[in-house]
Structure 1
Amino acid sequence: MRVMVLVKATEDSERGVLPTADLFEAMGRFNEQLLEAGIMQAGDGLRPSSAGKRVAFDGTRRTVTDGPFTETRELVAGYWLWEVEDMDEAVAWVKRCPNPMPGPSEIEIRPLYEEADFQAMLEAARDA
């Protein structure tokens, strides 16, 4: 199963505070363990939302909003894409992760849809 592992933004990450050298090294070691285990497919840190944009859709209309965005708890500071056996394995790996922020932080794990998830929907649509 593939999962997206989302490192939630904090006030520090939104201010552009970079990790300490010790934290950067610890995260590097953790990423190496993920790679050696065949878990990690991709991963990166994201710049603060002040460097981003949002595009809102309403029918054919598109509205672009420049960052920063106000709801820090809803923002993402980094991500991994992992291939794991199940959600329990993903949780076990996240528990091994160094705290990705200088203070309190949160990591969210979300399973990705796979082709098989859409097969049933497509078959039902054909049979209707």
Structure 2
Amino acid sequence: MRFAILLKADKDTEAGKMPGEEMFAKMAQFNQELIDAGIMQAGEGLQPSSRGARVKFTKDGKVSVVDGPFAETKELIAGFWIWKCKSKEEAIEWVKRVPMPMESGEAEIEIRQVFEAEDFGEEFTPELRELEERQREQLARQS
């Protein structure tokens, strides 16, 4: 099972404030533990929403773009990991070990299971599964 581990933003991450050297070192050590355990597949920090945009699609086919920043920080993501775990419980146990990422001393991390091909049912035909596999292989080669 794969899980997206989503670190919620706060006022400091939205202000573009960088962690100190000690936090970078703790996160690097934690990431190495994840890699050594075969858990971590990807992970990145995200720029503040002031450097982002939202694209909205409406029922009538209109598309609009709103540039950041976005007001409600508790709904924003400051960074993410993709982990491969045996269960949600295993992912929870790893999240409990994350070094405190926020200077405020408070943080929220969301765990969301990633859909796998078998989760989609009959509508995800063998042809579509084959296409997705080719796309994944192409992405791996490009990395």
Note whether the superposition's TM-score is higher than 0.5: yes
User: Is the 2:57–2:64 Cα contact (8 Å) retained in structure 1?
Assistant: yes
Deviations 1:32-79 (A, max 9, x none): 000011100000000000000000001421100000001100000000
User: Identity of counterpart residues, as a percentage?
Assistant: 49
1:64 paired with 2:71, answer no
Query: Which structure 2 residues correspond to residues 39-54 of structure 1 after superposition, within 5 A?
Result: 39-54=39-54
Match of 2:80 in 1: 79
Higher strand share: 1
Check whether the contact 2:117–2:124 (CA below 8 A) recurs between aligned residues: no
| AA matched with 1:46 | L
What's the TM-score once normalised by structure 1's chain length? 0.92
Equivalent runs, 1:112-127 vs 2, <5 Å? 112-119=114-121
Amino acid paired to 1:52: G
Counterpart AA for 2:79: G
Aligned residues between the structures: 123
Answer yes or no: is 1:107 the counterpart of 2:109: yes
* 8 Å CA contact retained: 2:5, 2:83: yes
CA-atom RMSD, angstroms?
A: 1.2
Counterpart Cα distance in 1 of 2:82 and 2:124: 26
Name the TM-score, length of structure 2 as normaliser. Answer: 0.83
Q: What is the identity, as a one-letter code, of the residue corresponding to 1:7?
A: L
- Render the CA deviation track for 1:85-124: whole Å, top value 9, x for unaligned: 000100000011101111111100000111111125659x
For the residues of structure 2 that align with 1:3 and 1:49, how far apart are their CA atoms? 23
| 1:27 equivalent in structure 2 | 27
Task: Letter of the 1:54 partner, please give it.
Answer: R
Higher relative contact order (CA closer than 8 Å, sequence separation 6+): 1
SS of match in other structure, 2:120: helix
The equivalent of 1:126 in structure 2 is none
Unaligned runs of 5+ in 2: 126-143
Structure 1, gaps ≥5 residues long: 124-128
